[in-house]
Amino acid sequence: MKPILISGIQPTGRLHLGNYLGALKNFVDLQNSGKYECYFFVADLHALTENPDAKDLSRNIINLAADFLAAGLNPKKSAIFQQSKIEPLQELKWILSTLTPISELIRMTAFKEKVLQAIKPAEAKKITKEKFEKIAEGTNFGLAEYPVLMAADILIFGGQFIPVGHDQLQHLEFTRTLVRKFNKKFGKTFIEPQALLAKTPRLMSLDDPTKKMSKSRPAGCLFIDDSPEDIERKIKTAITDSGSEIKYDPKEKPGISNLLSIIAGLSGKSLEEVERGFSGMNYGETKHSISDYVSDYFSSFRKKKTALLKNPAGLKKILQLGSGRAAKIASKKLLEIKNKVGLL
């Protein structure tokens, strides 16, 4: 049997180039390698932790399904499904939560970042432990539980390989710890999952290359369904560095290095090769050439996505079929887990 590979993306808005290079492109490449049994899902339950408007959430679920398919995920090759349709997840999440100290959850970087979003950045920098705890007490519990649900997502399918961006590594480490704890107490049940990082696991923001590109800072995002005009404008105004040399040097030249890493990630070329390709050009010419490349790269994606979104019922159907298949597998695994735990 092929090793099991699984990953999800939250339907919290349009996908940016960081999501694509850190996750979605890798999903497609790994699916097409034929080496894995693949599961890819819309992490709608995780998205609920942001308390979205119901209509927005439904629209984002369909929109993400369209992104998956337009980018090349194929329901004939992979199980493509919706997290909220997998009911056994809830029971596994509960079992795993009983093995999780609260202290581990509130120490997670992603949780801390979410909590601190409630206050001004300058204030967040010098926050005391007491003040942090006070704010954390008022945050929704789902945000703290987030990694337990993510561990359940992986373990309910026996996931071994998990393609994610850099910001998810801590959650995977948490999952591995849980696996060791569970196996020690109840006997070998799960395999410790391993992260598969893409070539560009941490793309930086266009408006501030010292911060990662993130849906929570739309000003620095290049969305993968942006029009060619928007792509051109955003790359043209992307922050670059002093000097004029085109060089990959993330310390001294974080702006241009970030743009070069976009081309390396999309083309599969090495950074040296990309750098050489731009030698002799100035910043303006380089940016122009990069925006043409990005625009061309996503041209067929844009067309496919527009066509897919004309038939939302078709997209729903694909999710439904995938969810049905995945739920069956999850139910089987849950029985095995409940037996191990002693829930006769």
Among 165, 220, 255, 265, binds ligand AMP (CB under 6 A): 165
Residue type, 98: T
Stretch that binds ligand AMP, among 77-85, 95-103, 183-191, 200-208 (CB under 6 A): 200-208
Residue nearest to ligand AMP (CB): 22
Report long-range pairs for 184-188 (Cβ below 8 Å, ≥24 apart): 185/99, 186/340, 186/341, 187/340
Stretch that binds ligand AMP, among 161-169, 174-182, 250-258, 266-274 (CB under 6 A): 161-169
Instruction: Provide the β-strand partners of residue 161.
Output: 5, 194
Among 47, 105, 150, 224, binds ligand TRP (CB under 6 A): 150
Among 21, 79, 80, 162, binds ligand TRP (CB under 6 A): 162
- Residue 93 designated active-site: no
Candidates 25, 85, 93, 212; catalytic one: 212
- Residue 253 designated active-site: no
- Residue 340 designated active-site: no
Instruction: Considering the complex, state which of residue 40 and residue 278 has its C-beta at the smaller distance from ligand TRP.
Output: 40
- CA atoms within a 13 Å half-sphere pointing along the CA-CB vector of 159: 29
Residue 53's contacts (CB-CB under 8 Å, 6 or more residues apart) are: none
The reply to whether 203 sits near ligand TRP by the rule CB under 6 A is no
Neighbour-count burial of 342, counting CB atoms closer than 10 A to its CB (0-12 exposed, 13-18 middle, 19+ buried): exposed
Alpha helices in the chain (DSSP H): 17-19, 25-33, 44-47, 54-71, 88-97, 102-106, 109-116, 121-125, 129-137, 141-155, 169-186, 228-236, 254-267, 271-277, 283-297, 299-309, 312-341
Considering CB distances under 5 to 8 angstroms, the limit depending on partner class, which of ligand TRP, ligand AMP, none binds residue 22? ligand AMP
Please provide the size of the chain in residues.
344
Element (H, E) at 7: strand 4-9
The reply to whether 213 sits near ligand AMP by the rule CB under 6 A is yes
Sign of CA dihedral 168, 40, 217, 268: positive
Minimum distance between the CB of residue 162 and ligand TRP, rounded to whole angstroms?
5
Considering CB distances under 5 to 8 angstroms, the limit depending on partner class, which of ligand AMP, ligand TRP, none binds residue 150? ligand TRP
Residue 244 CA: distances (Å) to CA of 240, 250, 282: 9, 15, 6
Considering CB distances under 5 to 8 angstroms, the limit depending on partner class, which of ligand AMP, ligand TRP, none binds residue 162? ligand TRP
Which phi and psi (to 5°) does residue 157 adopt?
Answer: -110, 5
Q: Which of residues 7-36 bind ligand AMP (CB under 6 A)?
A: 9-10, 12, 18-19, 21-23
Among 26, 60, 168, 291, binds ligand TRP (CB under 6 A): 168
How many CB atoms lie under 10 A from the CB of residue 93? 19
The reply to whether 168 sits near ligand AMP by the rule CB under 6 A is yes
Among 29, 50, 167, 230, binds ligand AMP (CB under 6 A): 167
Positions that interact with ligand AMP (CB under 6 A): 9-10, 12, 18-19, 21-23, 164-165, 167-168, 201-203, 212-215
Q: Catalytic positions, please?
A: 114, 212, 215
